[in-house]
Amino acid sequence: MDMKNVSNLKFLLAITLCASIVSCKRSSNSGNVDSATGWKINDKKGGFQYNTQFKEQETPPGTAFIEGGTFTMGKVQDDPMHDWNNTPNQQHVQSFYMDESEVTNLNYLIYLDYLKNVYPPDDPNYTLIYKGALPDTLVWRNRLGYNEMMTENYLRHPGYANYPVVGVSWIQAVEYANWRTDRVAEMALQEAGYIKRDAQYTDVNAESTFSTDTYIAAPTQTYGGNEEVLSGGKRKQQTDAEGNPINQYANRETGLIPVKFRLPTEAEWEYAALGMSELRSYNVYRGRKKYPWDGQYTRSGKRVNRGDQLANFKQGKGDYGGIAGWSDDGADITAEVKSYQPNDYGLYDMAGNVAEWVADVYRPIVDDEFNDFNYYRGNVYTKNAINEDGSVKIVTVDEIVYDTLSNGKIVARDLPGEISRVAIDEEETYLRTNFSQSDNRNFRDGDKRSSRYYRESFDEGEKNKNNTGKMYNSPKHKVEVDSAEGKLIREYDKSNNRTSLINDDVRVIKGGSWRDRAYWIDPAQRRYFPQDMATDYIGFRCAVSRVGSKTQKGGKKRN
């Protein structure tokens, strides 16, 4: 090859290399330019700011990823109880995250410790906040049994640290999930350098708290407006072309605000408990599952642990764990979480140990004719309360909102630093086709048309004041506060015409418990319990919705 050809070859290689560099540079910058207008995104001079480098939602602490899909919700095996409350129906659930195990005593004690430090119970203004969050340890008592050891020790003794918390009502579980949301978001913002590190130890009190919703809607009012905390992070401050600070606070567009913790819906819980993923053959399931594990039996068939029980439940009358020296399930009451093998989603104790609260209001029928996607009964739509000047209304220490429950207990629902919420109105509902009111718990069920007297006029006035024909005619106990003496007045409903215990304030429980026979550990089984009461066999775990793609990156490819 002569020198001329060599020179030409070198020239072509140089051109190619330059073109590839320019191409790569353009490609790398393409995410910072709006494809519709050509405007720059994240320009240092200002303009629209957005996280164009977002990869994937980070798995929330303590949770496992559950890839969504379709499944048969409801009883697919025998129904000897003839409840007819879990007729099989096809549902689709979006991907989400769920706690690997139930919330433990230790998890809940950290919550209580936070409340005690921020809202000292010896201050009369805050006494009811801490008291309302305390689990009911008296649930262990039995009139013909000695359980005082559990009453005194189960919640707080280190021997039970990693056992599921019980004695917690549905309302208390929801408040814990809300608190957990704020703590995880607070930590994420500290790590990203937006707020002062360790502020939860040094700068938090009743008048200076962190609320995720407040930080999004009115960040300057978070921590009571403490600028030292809000601008004390390690993140380098950005300025616009004129030197004014910009992007001081994180928002949804940054991708840093975690999705909220909540109770799982019944459909999510049942789908996650079944763990059908390993029974998948292309786009169909190979057969059915009765339990979170494979097979139709509660004992292991594997050689290494053949005969061992696979969950903690009541073996038979007077048998909660076998005889001494040969404990069938290793527990008499609850067992330490993660004592048994997880299901195919990596979830522990989805059968037995404790039954678990889920988000849904209970109804005997799942209305799949109306909806078969992310099914959930219990929507009560609200919005931020707005002051006269147009700003959001932040709850102050003098405006704490308490609820008096049907059993006389008092719980705090709106704490200082949180945004006050109100029901939606015509502003949001006018001419809409997908919803028309704030409270949808009773939608298509228990109303005039679904009552036994739907053909007759159903007047809620004087004529039918005590009508028992409605589908859900549950007792209505009264608890009122005597304004003169400040005492609670309790009145039992003594009517003999009540026909049901079902109302809009009973919630579904799933999963069976240490007190239940094997029948109840089938994930399809469903029961209900008043949302403001607690027992020694009901606990809970939290869930988080998935944003973005249905599957995690690096997961299995579609067939």
Three-state helix/strand/coil letters over 13-33: HHHHHHHHHHHHHHHHHHHHE
7-37 burial, b for 16+ CB within 10 Å, e for fewer?
eeeeeeeeeeeeeeeeeeeeeeeeeebeeee
Orientation of helix 105-118 relative to helix 170-191, angle to 10°: 80
- Give 136-157 as a 3 state SS string: CHHHHCECCECCHHHHHHCCCC
Structure tokens at 271: 């789908």
Q: Quick one: average pLDDT of 130-143?
A: 96
Domains contained in the chain, number: 1
> Residue 361: helix, strand or coil by DSSP?
strand
* Residue matched to tokens 């910072």: 32
210-236 burial, b for 16+ CB within 10 Å, e for fewer?
bbbbbbbbbbebbbbebeebbebbeee
Q: Answer yes or no: is 543 within a domain.
A: yes
List, in order, residues 6 or more apart from 479 with CB less than 8 Å away.
Answer: 404, 405, 406, 407, 408, 488, 489, 490, 491
75 close to 87: Cβ distance less than 8 angstroms: yes
pLDDT at position 282: 66
Q: Over the stretch 388-398, which tens digit does the pLDDT of each residue have?
A: 999 999 999 99
Structure tokens at 539: 């606990």
Q: Which range (81-85, 192-196, 340-344, 428-432) has the least confidence?
A: 81-85
Q: How many CA atoms are closer than 13 Å to the CA of 126, on its beta-carbon side?
A: 18
What is the C-alpha R_g of the chain? 28
Q: How many CA atoms are closer than 13 Å to the CA of 219, on its beta-carbon side?
A: 16
Q: Is the pLDDT confidence value at 437 over 90?
A: yes
Look at 187 and 492; give whichever has higher pLDDT. Answer: 187
* DSSP code, position 412: E
Share of the chain above pLDDT 90, in %: 62
Q: Answer yes or no: is 95 within a domain.
A: yes
Q: Quick one: average pLDDT of 313-330?
A: 84
Q: Which range (21-30, 198-207, 296-305) has the least confidence?
A: 21-30
Q: Answer yes or no: is 188 within a domain.
A: yes
Q: Is the pLDDT confidence value at 26 over 80?
A: no
Q: Answer yes or no: is 478 within a domain.
A: no
From CA 249, how far away is CA 270, in angstroms rounded? 39
Q: Is the pLDDT confidence value at 6 over 60?
A: no
Across all residues in the chain, what is the average pLDDT? 87
Q: Answer yes or no: is 160 within a domain.
A: yes
From CA 269, how far away is CA 530, in angstroms rounded? 19
Look at 10 and 208; give whichever has higher pLDDT. Answer: 208
Largest CA distance in the chain: 110
Assign residue 56 a region (left: φ > 0; alpha: ψ between -120 and 50; beta: otherwise): beta
Confidence of residue 212 (pLDDT cuts 50, 70, 90): very high
Q: Which range (316-325, 452-461, 503-512) has the least confidence?
A: 452-461
Q: Answer yes or no: is 458 within a domain.
A: no
Assign residue 279 a region (left: φ > 0; alpha: ψ between -120 and 50; beta: otherwise): alpha
Q: Is the pLDDT confidence value at 466 over 80?
A: no
List, in order, residues 6 or more apart from 106 with CB less than 8 Å away.
Answer: 161, 162
Confidence of residue 462 (pLDDT cuts 50, 70, 90): very low
From CA 266, how far away is CA 118, in angstroms rounded? 34
Q: Answer yes or no: is 475 within a domain.
A: no
Distance set, CA 451 to CA 367, 414, 445, 475 (Å): 15, 35, 8, 17
pLDDT at position 287: 62
Q: Is the pLDDT confidence value at 449 over 90?
A: no
Q: Over the stretch 254-286, which tens digit does the pLDDT of each residue have?
A: 999 999 999 999 999 999 999 877 666 666 665
Structure tokens at 140: 């262990």
Confidence of residue 465 (pLDDT cuts 50, 70, 90): very low
Confidence of residue 479 (pLDDT cuts 50, 70, 90): confident
Give me the phi and psi of 411, to 5 degrees please.
-125, 150
Find the CATH number of the domain harbouring 159: 3.90.1580.10
Q: Over the stretch 42-61, which tens digit does the pLDDT of each residue have?
A: 888 888 989 999 999 999 99
Specify the pairing of strand 96-99 against strand 543-545.
Answer: antiparallel
Q: Which range (9-23, 248-262, 417-431) has the least confidence?
A: 9-23
421 close to 436: Cβ distance less than 8 angstroms: no
pLDDT at position 486: 67
pLDDT at position 446: 58
Q: Is the pLDDT confidence value at 3 over 80?
A: no
Q: Over the stretch 137-189, which tens digit does the pLDDT of each residue have?
A: 999 999 999 999 999 999 999 999 999 999 999 999 999 999 999 999 999 99
Q: Quick one: how far is CA 296 from the chain centroid?
A: 30
Share of the chain above pLDDT 70, in %: 85
* Residue matched to tokens 């494809």: 35
β partners of residue 104 = 164
Specify the pairing of strand 69-73 against strand 89-93.
Answer: antiparallel
pLDDT at position 543: 98
Look at 414 and 473; give whichever has higher pLDDT. Answer: 414
Confidence of residue 301 (pLDDT cuts 50, 70, 90): confident
**Amino acid at site 39:** W
> Residue 191: helix, strand or coil by DSSP?
helix
From CA 513, how far away is CA 311, in angstroms rounded? 9
Q: Quick one: average pLDDT of 425-439?
A: 94
Q: Which range (153-162, 243-252, 253-262, 512-521) has the least confidence?
A: 243-252
Residue 138, classified by CB atoms within 10 Å of its CB into exposed (0-12), middle (13-18) or buried (19+), is exposed
pLDDT at position 451: 59
Q: Answer yes or no: is 99 within a domain.
A: yes
**Amino acid at site 178:** N
Range of the domain at 287: 65-192+258-370+509-551
Q: Angle at the Cα of 124 (from 121 to 129), degrees rounded to 5?
A: 50
Give the pTM.
0.90
Give me the phi and psi of 153, to 5 degrees please.
-120, -25
pLDDT at position 544: 98
* DSSP code, position 258: P
Specify the pairing of strand 355-361 against strand 538-539.
Answer: parallel
